[in-house]
Amino acid sequence: MNEVTAGLLPEGLRDRLPPQAEAAAALLRGVLDTVASHGYERVQPPLVEYEESLTGRVGAESGANAKLLRFVDPVTQRTLALRPDITGQAGRIAATRLAHYARPLRLSYGGPVLRVKGTQLNPEREMIQAGAELIGSDGVAAVTEVLLLAVEALQSAGLETLSVDVTLPSFVGALAAGPWPVAADKIEAVHTLLDGKDVAGLRAAGASHYEPLIAASGPAEAALAALRALHLGPAFEARLADVADVVAALPADVRVTLDPTERHGFGFQSWIGFAIYAPGVRGEVGRGGAYAITHPDGHRETAVGFSLYVDALVDAGLGLSAARRILLPVGTSRADAAKLRAAGWSTVAALTDNADPHAFRCTHRWNGVEAVAIK
Amino acid sequence: MNEVTAGLLPEGLRDRLPPQAEAAAALLRGVLDTVASHGYERVQPPLVEYEESLTGRVGAESGANAKLLRFVDPVTQRTLALRPDITGQAGRIAATRLAHYARPLRLSYGGPVLRVKGTQLNPEREMIQAGAELIGSDGVAAVTEVLLLAVEALQSAGLETLSVDVTLPSFVGALAAGPWPVAADKIEAVHTLLDGKDVAGLRAAGASHYEPLIAASGPAEAALAALRALHLGPAFEARLADVADVVAALPADVRVTLDPTERHGFGFQSWIGFAIYAPGVRGEVGRGGAYAITHPDGHRETAVGFSLYVDALVDAGLGLSAARRILLPVGTSRADAAKLRAAGWSTVAALTDNADPHAFRCTHRWNGVEAVAIK
């Protein structure tokens, strides 16, 4: 091994050391325990699949294809890829091996994902994703359940202050196909202008009738009122009422905003999407929304889910627990050691006399009779 | 997506479904909780590293190189590989980023590993490995601690009957370099003949003096007595006394055998190795032993560790827990649902009237007042 590179890892990959590695595991465990308590059943798809399995179906998320770390499998001689996301794998399972299960089908998952490149905001290429998917409905009850579950999981992880940004991914497209017509070849341009909140651009593009959407963005209640005031007709008004119901179900201490034109990263969601933020945490702490899964026979099934990356929570200092480590001098009986572990201690057996408890990160030392706190 | 391949996975890769996925997670959690209670601190190395990092150092395990699933990283333009094993990564961390930590350094890990091909016994290419490494000693106390820890972890996972096969990986080499000389270019041939218990072959190769080793194999006490009776001199006798001490420390209900010539898969272990078996479980349930880590400056440090693969335990039906799932009819209050979860239930909210509890794998149904068992 080259001594210069010894211990070096490729760009975007890292070792989690103590105590952060334990924090990551504890946070993942906590999230999965929360979703399990709501009846979500665990699936564990493989890290590697045929490339086309990862880009098809739900993977239609914009840019999913470009995220894949691919290689040719020496065994099958086909191109495989590392999963950049587990949501799509859960959808594949729901549409194939669990197609015969009753709906709604509630699935959960947690594990590493890999992408070919990090982003400017987050240079990591390997992350730990956890999430839950409810398959077979994207109605208000289903969306509310999943959003509240995401909030509960994040609050359990120690994030007391959360804000939720609600988006309406299919809203602009539906307007363009209905009450606010836009030529099919101009929809993308209008969307881009709305993304940039570019009022002047909208006017120049002859889409100034979309301007009110830019104003109808901000705290959810006010934004919904502004959207209702546009009198878009019964179908839109029913959808807005659904959104209002979801928003109203959130705990009072969660700040909720609505942006009807935001679509960044919501390429595969349908009528509602959400991103969750917390002070002190880089980027989003979770996201999700309603979407559809395509079955092998081509039919589409509604679903709603959320996922989060444990890494951002670890980096924000969450998941650490106060260690109760006790140093056991040489000669401590196995029975004493077992009793201490049963009482919740992590025992650290000294292999030499006069071992320094500090060097082993111990808070206590066993004197043969009791645990003595280390000064 | 091609409809014919929909849902199909590449050879050697699989989806874990409910309830096995949950069982795998519970078993992994249990093993890591056990090792954490003995003071082992968690590390989480990346899934992917430079190929040479995975083949160097501890990775000198025979055939490690041939196990790697490699690809050229589009970002660094270098060859990366998926880890086939986490032990080597823990050693890398101990020798680099944690080189300044006091010894013994106790590390644990758990997560997926990938190899290019399965074996005849186990066709899976992705497995969940968990383990613990004690770095800075390979003495009797250290080896005993790690072996007892492996036994405890497996017993906690539900394996009541265990047997441990002890091996002496460096024994034949030490004999050949000492009291039972063999030309350097013949050692490998002698080793192969011993592996095959090939008495006739040993005679033909002029190594009939190695025959007694084949007989000195079986229940540990008898095998150790047979080895001691060979009067190999003080250094060997001291080692055999060490082995006897390790064997004596095992619980009385663990069956222990010794094979001084077995080396299959113990390519990187030194004076002692062990493999653990249990009835009803395919192949080994765990293995480990003493070894050495090479630091970047070339110096070698003793260590001892064990690892196990959760998958074999899941396949043997371990880790499953009786689900307490309760169906909540539409309209159940959130407060009632939260109370049930706090009492240990997994709640499953019906989204439609008259949902069938059986279809959602529920054992109980909430009637608004109490949990009613489903017939």
- Give the pLDDT of chain B (375 residues) as one tens digit per residue: 333 344 589 999 999 999 999 999 999 999 999 999 999 999 999 999 999 888 865 444 446 677 899 999 998 899 999 999 999 999 999 999 999 999 999 999 999 999 999 988 889 999 999 999 999 999 999 999 999 999 999 999 999 999 999 999 999 999 999 999 998 889 899 999 998 999 999 999 999 999 999 999 999 999 999 999 999 999 999 999 999 999 999 999 999 999 999 888 888 899 999 999 999 998 899 999 999 999 999 999 999 999 999 999 999 999 999 889 999 999 999 999 999 999 999 999 999 999 999 999 999 999 999 999 998
Q: Do B348 and A141 touch (CB under 8 A)?
A: no
Q: What is the pLDDT of residue A228?
A: 97
Helix (H, G, I), strand (E, B) or coil at B20: helix
Is residue A165 in a domain? no
φ/ψ (deg, to 5) at B156: -65, -30
- Is B360's CB within 8 Å of A10's CB? no
Do both A88 and A143 map to the same domain?
yes
Residue B12 corresponds to which tokens in the numbers above? 């050697």
B309 in a domain, yes or no?
no
Q: From B83, which residue of chain A is nearest by alpha-carbon distance?
A: A47
d(CA B185, CA B269): 21
Q: Which residues of B touch A16 (CB under 8 A)?
A: 42-45
Rounded distance, CA B130 to CA B143, Å? Answer: 18
- Show the DSSP H helices in B216-351 as ranges: 220-228, 234-249, 310-315, 334-342
Cα B68 to Cα A76: distance, rounded to the nearest angstrom: 15
3-state secondary structure of B60: helix
Residue of chain A whose Cα is closest to the Cα of B60: A1
Closest by CA position to B276, among listed B259, B249, B255? B255
Q: Report if residue B253 sits inside a domain.
A: no
Distance from B356 to chain A by nearest Cα, in Å?
9
Same-domain pairing of A229 and A244 = yes
What phi and psi values does residue A106 have, to the nearest 5 degrees? Answer: -110, 120
pLDDT given for residue A8 in this prediction: 87
- Domain of B359, in residue numbers: 325-373
Q: How far apart are CA B120 and CA B117, in angstroms?
A: 10
For B67, nearest residue in chain A (alpha carbons): A74
Shared-domain flag, residues A181 and A227: yes
Residue at B96 is within a domain: no
Contact A18 B360 (CB under 8 A): no
Closest-CA residue of chain B to A38:
B347
What token pair was written down for B55? Answer: 């083949």
Pairing of strands B79-82, B69-72: antiparallel
The pairing of beta strand B105-114 with beta strand B41-42: parallel
Phi, psi of B338, rounded to the nearest 5 degrees? -65, -40
Tokens of B322: 């009786």
The edge-to-edge listing of strands for the beta sheet with A48-50 is A48-50, A79-82, A69-72
- Residue A330 token pair: 């040489």
A143 and A175 co-located in one domain: no
Q: Round to whole Å and give the CA distance between A94 and A294.
A: 10
Positions in chain A whose pLDDT score sits under 70: 1-7, 56-64
Q: Which residues of A touch B250 (CB under 8 A)?
A: none
Residues of A in contact with B112 (CB under 8 A): 47, 111-112
The pLDDT, as a whole number, for residue B3 is 37
How many other C-beta atoms are found inside a 10 Å radius of the C-beta of residue A44? Answer: 26
Q: Which of A3, A29, A52 sits opposite B1 (nearest CB)?
A: A52
**Per the domain annotation, does A270 fall within a domain?**
no
Neighbours of A339 (CB within 10 A): 12
Q: Measured between CB atoms, which of B22, B102, B145 is closest to A349?
A: B145
Query: Is the four-CA dihedral A67, A73, A77, A80 of positive or negative sign?
Result: negative
Q: Which of B220, B284, B294, B296 is nearest to B258 (CA)?
A: B220
Evaluate whether B34 touches B152 at the Cβ level (below 8 Å).
yes
Q: Let me know whether A189 and A230 are in one domain.
A: yes
A43-88 tens-digit pLDDT: 999 999 999 888 865 444 446 677 899 999 998 899 999 999 999 9
Handedness of CA B368, B370, B373, B375 (dihedral sign): negative
Of A166, A125, A135, whose CA–CA distance to A302 is shortest? Answer: A135
Q: Are the C-beta atoms of residues B277 and B254 closer than 8 Å to each other? A: no
Q: Are strands B255-259 and B163-167 parallel, antiparallel or unpaired?
A: parallel
- Give me the pLDDT at residue B63, please: 62
A302 is in an annotated binding site: no
CA distance A29 to A21: 12
Residue A271 placed within a domain = no
Distance CA B335, CA B315 (A): 39
CB A130 within 8 A of CB A90: no
Contacts with B117 from chain A: Cβ below 8 Å: 74-75
Using CB atoms, pick whichever of B71, B89, B325 lies closest to residue A71: B71
Place of tokens 């080994």: B284
CB A293 within 8 A of CB A124: no
Same domain, A61 and A146: yes
pLDDT at residue number B263: 83
Strands A255-259, A218-219: parallel, antiparallel or unpaired by DSSP?
antiparallel
Rounded to a whole number of angstroms, the distance from the CA of A264 to the nearest CA of chain B is 24
Does the annotation place B293 within a ligand binding site? Answer: no
Inter-residue contact B68 to B41 (CB < 8 Å): no
**Do residues A136 and A30 share a domain?**
yes
Which residues of chain B neighbour A106 with C-beta distances below 8 Å? 348
Give chain B's domain count: 1
Residue B301 domain flag: no
Nearest CA in chain B to A140: B351
Looking from the CA of B50 toward its CB, the CA atoms found within 13 Å total: 17
Quote the CA–CA distance of B310 and B302 in Å, as a whole number. Answer: 27
| E runs forming strands in chain B | 41-42, 48-50, 69-72, 79-82, 105-114, 126-135, 163-167, 218-219, 255-259, 273-277, 286-294, 300-309, 325-328, 346-349, 364-366, 371-373
What are the φ/ψ torsions at residue B266 (nearest 5 degrees)? -105, 35
Asked whether residue A115 falls in the same domain as residue A254, the answer is: no
Instruction: Say if the Cβ atoms of A38 and B349 lie within 8 Å.
Output: yes
Alpha-carbon span A335 to A341, nearest angstrom: 10
Asked whether the beta carbons of residue B48 and residue A348 sit closer than 8 angstroms, the reply is: no
pLDDT tens, residue by residue, A325-368: 999 999 999 999 999 999 999 999 999 999 999 999 999 999 99
Strand partners, B203: none
Looking at the structure, tell me whether residues A27 and A141 fall in a common domain: yes
Task: Name the amino acid, one letter, at B293.
Answer: I
Residue whose C-alpha is closest to residue A77's, from B362, B270, B116: B116
CB atoms within 10 A of CB B258: 27
Last residue of a domain, one of A262, A279, A309: A262
Distance from CA of B269 to the nearest CA of A (A): 20
Interface test with A, best of B5, B28, B48, B325 (most A CBs within 10 A): B48
3-state secondary structure at position B3: coil
List of chain B residues whose C-beta atoms are within 8 Å of the C-beta of residue A293: none
Residue labelled with tokens 């001490």? B245
The answer to whether the annotation marks A129 as part of a ligand binding site is yes
* DSSP summary character for residue A44: B
Residue B268 CB neighbour total at 10 angstroms: 21
A79 and A123 share one domain: yes
Contact between B36 and A22 using a beta-carbon 8 Å cutoff:
yes
Confirm if A348 and B136 have CB atoms less than 8 A apart: no
Q: Which single residue is written with the structure tokens 């009807």?
A: A260
Q: What does the alpha-carbon distance between residue A6 and residue B96 come to, in Å, rounded to a whole number?
A: 8
Structure letter (DSSP) for residue B283: S
Beta carbons of A103 and A142 less than 8 angstroms apart: no
A178 and A137 part of one domain = no
A297 lies in some domain: yes
